[in-house]
Amino acid sequence: MSIGSCADLPDLAGERVGGCVLAASDEFFAEKENLIKAEDPVFIRDRYTDRGKWMDGWETRRRRLRGHDWALVRLGIPGVIHGIVVDTRFFTGNYPEQMSLEACTASPEAGTEELTDWIEIIPRSSLRGDTLHNFQVSHPQRFTHVRLNIFPDGGVARLRVHGEASPNWQRYGREIDLAAAECGATVVDSTDQHYGHPENLIMPGPGRCMADGWETRRRRAPGHDWVTVRLAVEGIVHRVEVDTSHFKGNYPDACSLEVSLTGEEGSWTEVLGQCKLQAHTQHTFEQELDAAPAARFARFHIYPDGGVSRLRLFGHMTERGRLEANLAALNAAPQKQALADFLRCCGSRAWADVMAAGRPHPSLLALEKAADSAWSHCSREDWLEAFSAHPVIGERRGGAWSLEEQSGAAEANDETRRQLEELNLRYRERFGYTFIVCATGKTAKEMLDILRPRIENNAESEIRNAAQEQHLITRLRLRKLLSA
């Protein structure tokens, strides 16, 4: 991704998306909160405070001891970082000589003392005064916090952290705002943005003023204005909210909405016909919507021009959308979390290590092919480690997936359960490991019918049978992992 395209991505750390500067080593001359202000920095020549020259940024005192200064930021939108802007505008004799940036992943509620496992994503780099410094980042992990280090001290006007949102979908219910920037939606095209950028439409929270919305110039030619949004995930829209707050003499007369799976011309379906709008009003359209198809893009039309504060497109993910969203989350997860997720699918540490190291997996098909390849290169010891993660067929222990997969055994009568217990014991005594079968969809009798002849196999053919069953179980569990 180029530097230019990074600047088009949302600022994950900005105050307007909920970013927060949690702590700083020092802020004697200028407050740490200035780092993430939405507005560009300004310089007022004759403005001073009782501590010295007023500066629109974060500025520390002159360091007389060893060490360096730092500021800790919680991202408003957790995500994969692609570019950083360190802005030293108006800092000429008081800018830091160098900087570096670290990032980590933690819960939104984590205190500063709980932030660990920092990863350096920009190594120590030189800075110049009164300059916009652009840095590319290639780390694929999802981050929630960053730490800006400056060496040894000085002032930075703004810090911009550009990237792609990577939401924790477990925090959302079934209904989500498919057009929310915090969920990963982006603006891809518009007819006009003379007074306000269309990206404002999908920002969190209500619009703060008329400048915090999308406003087009007065249209003097035929036609009307529109904006295209790439939805956070593939989904189905069932409620539309159009907020014209702060727009009173310049709101659009009407609006409509189309959706598309591909965003290509000829693929659009109108789901909301032209509806009248009012000034400074939040409008909700639900009964007015036609049955919407699955969509990845939405095109919002205003007639003929004007300003809108926010656009919300509420709906639910399709099955494919959920798979893709969870795969993206798995690809961006910290190494420790990815390993834990893969070990839920297969208990072989060697297999899980290969799968975690092989990220990003671009599709479900690619993930399954990688899983097959990794399993084919596992040793006999790796197979046995995977087998040991399974409860005995018929036992009421193990995780939710095991209980679900073995539901057929749970419904068996007493005699069938007795036979399963007896044959499982004989199997373990003969081969030294638990009987492995892909139990999903099988009754207790069917599992018994599979178990009886397999006890008679020789050790070599049976361990290969068990490995093949583990392979089938892993395939199913990968799907479960991505369908949660």
- Do 25 and 161 fall within a single domain? yes
Query: Residue 244 belongs to what domain range?
Result: 176-317
Other C-beta atoms lying within 10 Å of the C-beta of residue 100: 18
Looking at the structure of the chain, the number of domains it has is: 3
Residues 50 and 104 both lie in one domain = yes
131 and 219 co-located in one domain = no
Q: 171-205 burial, b if ≥16 CB within 10 A, otherwise e?
A: eeeeebbbbbbbbbbbbeebbebeebbbbbbbbee
Give the containing element (helix H, strand E) for 368.
Answer: helix 364-376
Q: How far apart are CA 464 and CA 470, in angstroms?
A: 10
What's the pLDDT tens digit per position in 418-470?
Answer: 898 899 999 999 999 999 999 898 888 899 999 999 999 999 999 999 999 99
Given 127, 143, 165, the domain boundary residue is 165
Q: Which of 247, 238, 101 is nearest to 178 (CA)?
A: 238
**First vs last Cα of the chain: how many Å apart?**
30
pLDDT at residue number 2? 41
198 shares a domain with 63: no
Which DSSP string corresponds to 126-143? E--TT-EEEEE----SEE
* 324, part of any domain: no
Q: Which of 317, 352, 377 is the last residue of a domain?
A: 317
Distance CA 112, CA 304 (A): 50
What pLDDT, on the 0 to 100 scale, is given for residue 4?
44
CATH number of the domain where residue 115 is located:
2.60.120.260
What pLDDT sits at residue 398?
57
Residue 329 resides in a domain: no
* Structure tokens belonging to residue 51: 């501590």
Query: Considering the entire predicted model, what is its pTM?
Result: 0.89
| Single-letter amino acid code for the residue at 434 | T
Q: Which two tokens stand for residue 442?
A: 């099988």
In the block, tokens 């002159």 appear at 62
SS3 104: strand
Establish whether the linkage from the previous residue to 108 is cis, with ω within 30° of 0. no
* Domain match, 289 and 353 both: no
Same-domain pairing of 354 and 409: yes
pLDDT value, residue 1: 41
Q: Does any domain span residue 98? A: yes
* Residue 327 placed within a domain: no
CATH of the domain at 341: 1.10.3330.10
User: Residues 126, 207: one domain?
Assistant: no
Separation of alpha carbons 247 and 215, rounded Å: 9
What stretches in the chain show pLDDT beneath 70? 1-5, 394-399, 408, 410
Q: Write the pLDDT tens digit of every residue in 268-290.
A: 999 999 999 999 999 999 999 99
